[in-house]
Amino acid sequence: MEKKRSVLVSKKLELVHLGQNIPYMKKFFLMAMTIFLAGSAFSQSATTSPQPKEIGTVIEFKNDAYNFGKIAYGKPVEYVVEFKNISKDTLSILQAQAGCGCTTPSFVPNEKFGPGQTVKMTIRFNSSVVGAFTRYTDVYFTGGLTKKLTFTGEGIQEAAPAPATNNGTTKAKPAPIPNSN
């Protein structure tokens, strides 16, 4: 019985000891919440940053969705995309990122083009596909503008050349002449 009493007394002492820390824990919690809320309030600015413009109101595109039709497997092809600045601001192409290694965009990085001016980008495709395909290239402009270019087509395997013919008949090898010796 004495052992139970000493265990109960020690448990009560622990609770009393923890209870003494409650005011400090409340203060700590309140201080942490105050700092968090103050930080949240100051992180939101009173002025909102301007939203990026809709790209169609800034740049006019020609060939942004291109169809190669049927192309021979393994024979590289290319097409040209034109970007016309229809805004009042000067723009430039910052970067172009192809969706795969079979596509290569070619352009002058950071070339500025003012209102009414047009710049061009050549998109090359190595034609490493048999069957229908769709490929993408993302183009990044100043002002936070992005455009996804798309091209499609169908890669076809060219047939092997047929053997030479003579008036529609296959040219045969001459028969060997038997040796009379």
**Whether residue 139 is found in the same domain as residue 59:** yes
**Whether residue 60 is found in the same domain as residue 110:** yes
What does the pLDDT read at residue 170? Answer: 53
**Whether residue 15 is found in the same domain as residue 62:** no
Q: Where does the pLDDT of residue 46 fall: very low under 50, low under 70, confident under 90, or very high at 90 and above?
A: very low
Assess contact for 112 and 142: CB atoms under 8 A: no
**Whether residue 12 is found in the same domain as residue 80:** no
Q: Where does the pLDDT of residue 48 fall: very low under 50, low under 70, confident under 90, or very high at 90 and above?
A: very low
Residues 53-68 have a mean pLDDT of: 93
Residue 9 has pLDDT above 80, yes or no: no
Closest residue by Cα to residue 68 from 22, 103, 25: 103
With a threshold of 0.75, does the pTM exceed it?
no
Q: Does residue 162 form part of some domain? A: no
* Per-residue pLDDT tens over the stretch 94-147: 999 999 999 999 999 999 999 999 999 999 999 999 999 999 999 999 999 999
CATH number at residue 131: 2.60.40.10
Residue 26 has pLDDT above 60, yes or no: yes
Assess contact for 108 and 99: CB atoms under 8 A: no
DSSP 48-102: PPPPPPPGGGTEEEESSEEEEEEEETT--EEEEEEEEE-SSS-EEEEEEEESSTT
- Percentage of the chain lying above the pLDDT 90 cut: 56
DSSP 123-159: EEE----SEEEEEEEEEEEGGGEEEEEEEEEEEEPPP
**Which residues make beta-bridge pairs with 121?**
81
Q: Which domain holds residue 10?
A: 1-37
